[in-house]
């Protein structure tokens, strides 16, 4: 098993379809991780548990690509930025914030909110109107910013549920052919003849009139409430699941790879040393190995997580404690064989140090086996961590896939049918696992010729 050269492994590996598939999936995941780390700002991931960050997002909404699959188009949750135009006539300055919406859905939006942050002094008048696809202009709200003597920064939100809007809409009652006892959005987005969605481009205009000087708009958004959002939808706490899932990728790779490398290195050195030394050292070390082997891993991991800490780095350490045992056993028996080879004996007679013999002559022979076991032990590490997080024992400050599933379970996602919350994390766990299993199996077949038949 140790006579396989590196080149041979490479050549054989390139022949194995399974191994190549695994490598491709892994490369894809690494690419996703790199893109995530470089494009999504770290702040989104640090504020994963900060509800304020997600306030503008919809609650438990379906991923927006669902619309591609069904004929009934569900309105999408949109966050629209304003286009700002300024003009003035004599003393009167007008700041016009325009929000264009192309509305092509079969159902009314649930609501809309204007959120603006302006810097102004004195009094300002605000008028909101909408130009509909059929050319009708509805003036829906006229109000004013609170009077201020000095320069002030003011945050203002206008909600579609405002009773003033409904009152203003009553002025257009004659143009619509149906009963007005419905919500404001259902009137604004409706056909004239019957209460059905009128598709097309809507322009919402928010005009701010000021005398002497214009109000300066610092931030301005219109939120059109819908039931679909983004690539992956959102959860009960309005969090964008795409962000969580994307951040979960580098985390899962990090956990899996560091646990497996750590445990394989420890197991390899421990086993080889034990086998090489032999006699009483071997006996004692193997008994210790047996003790760890006989410990029930999951209960102990849970106790460790509860009593010591659930920080992700310590968790990696705990996972290592329980996963080096098997590797130590196998590498011990391998080193028992290798140590009887003549070149090892020769090195010994030449008076080389034990550590040098182990690291220079024995361990390099075991490297192919070590790589295969690293790949094979990654999925177990990932699923165990996910399982612990699922029980609520994970590190809450990191959005791992297990953590997302834990949240899904606590908010009863299965009972309420939020499939987009449950399915993707599990599939990602499985895909990551599969990639490593493929690579590991392909390597294993090459390293252990016995499996070849």
Partner 1 sequence: MFGVLMITLLLTVSLVGSNMDTILKQGIIYQVRAEITENTSIVQGFNDPKEFEKFVQQKIDERVKTLGLDTPWYSPQRLGYTMYKILILDFGNATFLTSDSGSSNVGEIIFEKMPKTILLFTTATIIISIIGIVLGAASSNKIGSKIDRITSTFAVISSSFPVWWIGMLMIFVFAFVYQIFPARATPNIASDDPGYFLALLYHMTLPVITIVLIGFGAWAYLVRNFMVGIMQEDFITAKKTMGISKKKIVYSHALRNAAPPIVTILALSLSGSLGGAIITEAVFDWPGMGRLYFEAISVMDLPVIIGSTYILTVLFLVSIFIADLLYGYFDPRVRTSN
Shortest CB 381 distance to partner 1, Å: 12
Q: Does position 419 bind partner 1 by CB under 8 A? A: yes
How far is it, in rounded angstroms, from Cα 321 to Cα 302? 13
Q: Does position 284 bind partner 1 by CB under 8 A? A: no
- Interface with partner 1 (CB under 8 A), residue from 137, 211, 303, 346: 303
Residue closer to partner 1, measured from CB, 145 or 381: 381
Determine which helix (DSSP H) or strand (DSSP E) holds 183, and give its type and residue range: none
In whole angstroms, how far apart are CA 155 and each of 42, 43, 79? 26, 23, 17
Handedness of CA 50, 52, 53, 59 (dihedral sign): positive
- Supply the angle between the helices 279-294 and 325-338 in degrees, to the nearest 10: 160
Q: Does position 31 bind partner 1 by CB under 8 A? A: no
Residue closer to partner 1, measured from CB, 246 or 439: 439
Q: Label the pairing between strands 83-89 and 111-131.
A: unpaired
CA-based Rg of the chain, rounded to a whole angstrom? 32
- Interface with partner 1 (CB under 8 A), residue from 58, 118, 433, 439: 433
Instruction: Identify residues 124-153 at the interface with partner 1 (CB under 8 A).
Output: none
Residue closer to partner 1, measured from CB, 182 or 451: 451
* Cβ contact 254:431 at 8 Å: no
Residue closer to partner 1, measured from CB, 317 or 426: 426
- Interface with partner 1 (CB under 8 A), residue from 307, 340, 342, 355: 307
Q: Name 155's bridge partners.
A: 117
Stretch that binds partner 1, among 3-11, 69-77, 249-257, 389-397 (CB under 8 A): 389-397
How far is it, in rounded angstroms, from Cα 283 to Cα 277? 10
Tokens representing 364 are 């390099």
Q: Does position 66 bind partner 1 by CB under 8 A? A: no
* Cβ contact 451:445 at 8 Å: yes
In the three-class reduction of DSSP (H, G, I as helix; E, B as strand; rest coil), residue 16 is classed as coil
Stretch that binds partner 1, among 35-43, 329-337, 352-360, 391-399 (CB under 8 A): 391-399
Q: Does position 295 bind partner 1 by CB under 8 A? A: yes
Q: Name 237's bridge partners.
A: none
Q: Does position 278 bind partner 1 by CB under 8 A? A: no
| Count of residues interacting with partner 1 (CB under 8 A) | 44
Q: Does position 321 bind partner 1 by CB under 8 A? A: no
- Interface with partner 1 (CB under 8 A), residue from 387, 394, 395, 400: 387
Q: Name 62's bridge partners.
A: 228
Q: Does position 354 bind partner 1 by CB under 8 A? A: no
DSSP per-residue string spanning 99-163: EEEEE--SS--SEEEEEEEEEEEEEEEEEEEEE-TTS-EEEEEEEEEEEEEEEEEEEEEEETT-H
- Interface with partner 1 (CB under 8 A), residue from 290, 343, 345, 410: 290
Neighbouring C-beta atoms of residue 115, cutoff 10 Å = 17
- Interface with partner 1 (CB under 8 A), residue from 66, 297, 312, 347: 297
- Interface with partner 1 (CB under 8 A), residue from 344, 386, 404, 447: 386
Q: Does position 417 bind partner 1 by CB under 8 A? A: yes
End-to-end CA gap in the chain: 15
How far is it, in rounded angstroms, from Cα 402 to Cα 265? 26
Shortest CB 24 distance to partner 1, Å: 16
Shortest CB 290 distance to partner 1, Å: 7
- Interface with partner 1 (CB under 8 A), residue from 31, 56, 164, 298: 298
Locate tokens 């080096």: which residue? Answer: 324
Q: Does position 414 bind partner 1 by CB under 8 A? A: yes
Q: Name 240's bridge partners.
A: 234
Residues forming contacts to partner 1 in the complex (CB under 8 A) are: 290-291, 294-300, 302-304, 306-308, 379, 383, 386-387, 390-393, 405, 408-409, 414-415, 417, 419, 422-423, 425-426, 429-430, 433-434, 437-438, 441, 450-451, 453
């Amino acid at each position: 098993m140790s006579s396989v050269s590196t080149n041979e492994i490479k050549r054989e590996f390139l022949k194995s379809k399974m191994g190549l598939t695994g490598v491709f999936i892994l490369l894809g995941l690494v690419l996703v991780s790199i893109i995530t780390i470089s494009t999504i700002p770290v702040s989104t991931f640090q504020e994963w548990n900060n509800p304020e960050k997600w306030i503008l997002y919809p609650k438990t909404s379906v991923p927006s690509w669902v619309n591609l699959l069904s004929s009934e188009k569900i309105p999408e949750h949109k966050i629209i930025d304003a286009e700002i135009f300024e003009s003035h006539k004599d003393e009167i300055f007008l700041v016009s914030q325009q929000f264009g919406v192309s509305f092509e859905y079969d159902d009314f939006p649930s609501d809309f909110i204007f959120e603006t942050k302006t810097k102004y002094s004195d009094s300002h008048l605000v008028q909101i109107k909408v130009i509909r696809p059929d050319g009708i202009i509805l003036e829906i709200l006229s109000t004013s910013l609170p009077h201020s003597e000095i320069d002030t920064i003011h945050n203002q939100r206008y909600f579609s549920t405002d009773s003033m809007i409904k009152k203003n809409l009553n002025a257009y009652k004659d143009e619509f052919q149906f009963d007005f006892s419905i919500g404001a959005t259902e009137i604004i987005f409706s056909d004239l003849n019957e209460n059905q969605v009128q598709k097309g481009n809507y322009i919402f205009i928010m005009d701010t009139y000021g005398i002497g000087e214009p109000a300066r708009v610092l931030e301005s958004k219109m939120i059109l409430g819908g039931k679909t959002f983004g690539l992956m939808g959102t959860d009960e706490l309005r969090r964008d699941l795409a962000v969580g899932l994307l951040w979960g990728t580098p985390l899962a790779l990090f956990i899996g790879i560091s646990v497996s490398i750590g445990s394989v290195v420890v197991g390899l050195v421990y086993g080889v040393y034990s086998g090489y030394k032999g006699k009483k050292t071997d006996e004692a070390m193997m008994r210790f190995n047996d003790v760890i082997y006989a410990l029930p891993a999951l209960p102990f991991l849970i106790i460790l997580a509860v009593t010591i800490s659930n920080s992700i780095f310590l968790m990696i350490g705990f996972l290592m404690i329980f996963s080096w045992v098997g590797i130590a056993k196998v590498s011990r028996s391998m080193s028992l064989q290798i140590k009887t080879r003549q070149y090892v004996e020769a090195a010994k007679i030449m008076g080389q140090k034990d550590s040098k013999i182990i690291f220079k002559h024995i361990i390099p022979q075991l490297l192919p086996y070590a790589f295969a076991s690293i790949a094979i032990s990654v999925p177990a590490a990932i699923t165990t961590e996910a399982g612990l997080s699922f029980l609520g024992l994970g590190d809450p400050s990191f959005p791992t896939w297990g953590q997302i599933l834990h949240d899904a379970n606590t908010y009863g996602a299965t009972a309420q049918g939020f499939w987009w919350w449950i399915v993707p994390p599990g599939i990602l766990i499985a895909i990551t696992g599969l990639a490593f299993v493929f690579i590991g199996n392909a390597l294993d077949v090459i390293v252990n010729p016995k499996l070849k038949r």
